[in-house]
Structure 1
Amino acid sequence: MKRNFVFVATAIATCAILVGCGVDPQKATAALNAQGISDVTIGDHAFFGCGESDSRASEFRGTGANGKPVTGVVCSAWLKGITVRYD
């Protein structure tokens, strides 16, 4: 019984950690730079803005190629690349 409890507690903690994490800032910045966004700042975890299959999401701010401010969300999941969604 105690062994099952430890297993379940570990599984729940692992899921909470994976779901609660934002996107890797270096990968997100590289993806945004590839789209012409400069002066990138990766923010906190974004609770909305990504698809159901995305397990990680972070807000971002930057400067677009035209010099205007750009904001949005970068999304990712395990074994998936970065998706950029603009506000």
Structure 2
Amino acid sequence: LHGRRLDHEERTRKKLAREGHKQSKDAQNLRGLKAKLRAEDRRKEKIQMRKKIKAHEERDVKTTNDEEPSEPMPAYLLDRKK
């Protein structure tokens, strides 16, 4: 609370929520080189976002490859594993 407004957290949350609207409005009004540069930056942001989402999804998926097979291996194949 020292030196902050009482509604500081709420104001920052709302500002962050409105940020997308501002970006959209700017993107619609940009022309020429500025528009190209903005599109390039946005593309890089999207790529990073997709990578992050994919990493989170891979973390949540449980791998089942380490399980034992349902039927036992034949004796002649056990020697080949080494």
TM-score by length of 1: 0.29
- Structure showing greater radius of gyration is 2
Q: Which has the higher contact order (CA 8 A, sep 6+)?
A: 1
Considering fraction of residues, name the structure with more helix.
2
Considering fraction of residues, name the structure with more strand.
1
TM-score by length of 2: 0.31
